[in-house]
Each structure stands twice: as C-alpha cells, then as structure tokens.
Amino acid sequence: MDEISSRGSQNVSDSTRALAVWHGRTTLGLLSLPNELLSMCFEHALDEDFEDGPFVALRLSHISSRCRAVALGNTKIWATLHHDTSMCSLDFTEACISRSGRSPLTVAVTFSNKKLANRITATQFLELLEEHNILARCRRVIVILSCNLKNCLEELDQPIFIQEEIGSKHFGSCVFFSNVTPDYLDVRIDQDHWEVSDMAESQLSVLLGETFLDSMAERCQLKHLTVPALPTLFDDADYLVDSLSSLHFVLEHKLDASAVAFLACFPALQDLEVTLTVYGVDTNSHLFQEHVPFPSICNLRFRLHLLFEPEDEEYVESHFELINCIFPNAFNMDLLLEFRTDIPYQGFQEYVLRSEWDFTPLLDSLFPHKHRYASLENLSVTFKVADLAGVPAIEIRDSPVGAAVFPLRNLPSLKNFEV
C-alpha cells in the first residue's frame, strides 16, 4: 500500500512539475511579445465580457511590472464600467474612468427592487458618471432589472424598483437616458417569477418610453437594440430610427400588429432576432391579414419555445404567423424550436417521442408559402426537448427527424440546410 501511495504521489508531483513548466513557457511566450502585440492580447481577453472585463484587466496588470505598464497604457481595457447589487465602493469605477482616457465606454447598470445596506445604488453609480462628464462617451449601455422576490409572492404588490431609484434625477427625469446616445442598448429583466416579468415590463415601458427613446429619436446613433417586451413597450411608436441595423426582442406571445408597426420604425434593419414563448393556439391571427414586406432584413434568428401541457388539445394548433410579414431578401436563418413540458420523465416519454409532429403546425405557419423567404439560401434548424427550466431531455431514445416535417417546398432558393 505504501508503494502504491508513493507511486501515486510521484505521478501527481510529476504532473504538477510538467504543468508548472508548461505554464512558465506560456507566460514567457506571452511576455516575449512586443508591447503592441501584448496590449492587443489584453484587449482580446476582454472581448464581449462586460461583467468581468475591468477585473480581468486588473488581474492582467498584476502579472508583472511590464504587464502593468502595458495595461495602464491601453485605455480600451479599462473602458467597461459595471454596476450590480453587490457593489460596495465606487473606488474601482473611478480608477477605470481615469485609466480609460477618452475611449468609448460600456456601461452596465442594475436597478433592483431591494435596497441593500452598504451597497452602491444605481443612482449613486450614475451620479458618478455625470460628475466625471462622461455620458457622451457611453457607446454601449446595458440596463439590468433585478427583481428577486425570493419566492415571496406577497411582494408582487410592491414596485419592482425602489422609489428612490425611480424618482431620482438620473432615471425618472431623463438626465441619464436623455444625455446618452449609444450605439448599443441592451435591456434585460432578471426575475424569479413570471408575474414579476409582467410588472417589470410595465414599469420599464413607461421609464424608457418617456426618457431614452423619445429623447433620442432626433439624434439617434443606435445600431443595436435588445428589449424584453416589444408590444407593451412600443404600442404607439411613431418615429423612424434610420441608424438601427440589429434588433433582438423577447415576447411571451405571438407577434401582433403593434409589433409589426414597430419593426417598420427601422427602415435600415438588417439583423432580426426574436425569442418567443408559444403557449397554444392564437385566436387573433385573423385580425391582421395585410402582407408587410421588410426588404432590408438579411439575417433572421428565431428562438421559439413551445410550452406543452398534455391536457391542452389546442397545443397542436400552435403557430407563429408573423402576421404575414414577408422577408424577400433574407439570406440566412438560424431557427431553434424548443419543446418544453413539465411532465416528469416517467410520463415524459410517450409525449416526447411524438414531439416532432407537434412542431409541424408551427413549421407550417413559419413557412406558409414560397414568397415569405424567396431568397433564403442558408437555413440551420435545431430541435430541442426540455423541461420548463430548459434542461434538455438527454435520455430520449429517438431523435426528431427535421426533414420529415419541414416544408422545404416553400424555400425555392435554399442551398444549405442543416438540422
């Protein structure tokens, strides 16, 4: 036993030494780069990471004195200002502002329904930005609505945002949102109950509609917009934003006429992404029959979640009409069809095995005729079966065969089809 133990220790020791040698070579290889290339490596390490970006920059600056000099000399890696409900001090934010020079900024701010002791609020964070006169540099703005009720549903009657936050001069009376003209705006709702989402969307509609969107209509530079609630947020949209080329929105029901009218506000829109939850048959599809073309859109991405209940006989009629929208110049489409159910696995099998046929009405409504996607050449489709939390049912024996249910006859220009 002692011999086996010693051999095991020896193997671990050898592995540790080998790892240390490899790490040393990697570090030496990185540090052997010229300052310009080393600085570029630091930038790529932070790409698309708005949450940890500035902290990654801080860790990179601690590798060596040379790395610190390179990091401090690159204003871009300090250009992310991130606020969340765990923030206890503004010192690091101030340091990032001073180190960012005149670089364009990414600003992520979290509004919470909870007032936590010894935490920096969104109001205090936005006050700091105004004090440093950097609102004009906020090119990428991310607004996060944190609605954590800890399963205490009696709190649903309370406002999602603290009144101090809503009534502050920085949010309620437009000072922040009326003075930023970002290229990228992403609004997110982080909630733990579906009813919270509805309440948050309602308040968000008023706040954004009366501040940011109204004030920016005439001087807009926005290129990308992500919103969590389209029809309730933009029911009476009557402006045009020529700069927007990318749009993503999340819905809890089918697109309706107001959503289509909203899409028409962006005549230069090229990339459209829709995340939609389909509950069952839509009884209002007959209310809007006019064909509406969107010739500027080239790339489509649909994320459709079908919620299934065995007792719901109308489920098989679920569809996504897009209200007769036509995308004559759409070239690429990425489509996810996710079948969700709360049936436990013991009773899950018989329904899941026929789930591909449950997708058929939805596919037929997505691709009703040859004119909707007349130019579509590339199509990627993913079928997924999961529980209500989105956890995939990996034990299912038989996988759906997409080609068996897919209306390929309605895609006359299709060249590449991946399932």
Helix 53-61 vs helix 91-99: crossing angle, to nearest 10 = 80
pLDDT at 23: 46
Residue 185 lies in a domain: no
Q: Are 109 and 142 in contact (CB under 8 A)?
A: yes
pLDDT at 16: 44
Q: Which domain holds residue 272?
A: 265-419
Residue 412 lies in a domain: yes
Residue 179 lies in a domain: no
The count of structural domains within the chain is 2
pTM given for the model: 0.74
Q: Are 117 and 160 in contact (CB under 8 A)?
A: no
Residue 304 lies in a domain: yes
| pLDDT per position as a tens digit, 301-359 | 998 887 766 555 555 555 666 667 899 999 999 998 887 776 554 444 444 555 444 57
Q: How far is CA 396 from CA 64, 97, 349, 351, 353, in A?
A: 51, 52, 7, 11, 8
pLDDT at 55: 72
| pLDDT per position as a tens digit, 226-267 | 877 664 555 555 667 788 899 888 766 556 566 777 788 888
What's the rounded Cα separation, in Å, for the pair 293 and 290? Answer: 10
| pLDDT per position as a tens digit, 114-141 | 677 888 888 888 888 888 988 889 999 8
Residue 176 lies in a domain: no
Q: Are 208 and 226 in contact (CB under 8 A)?
A: no
| pLDDT per position as a tens digit, 33-89 | 888 888 888 777 666 555 666 677 777 778 888 888 888 888 888 888 988 888 899
What is the full DSSP assignment across 130-192?
HHTT-GGGEEEEEEEEEE--TT-GGGGGS-SS-HHHHTSTTTTTSTTTTS---SEEEEEEEES
pLDDT at 19: 39
Residue 58 lies in a domain: no
Residue 351 lies in a domain: yes
Residue 246 lies in a domain: no
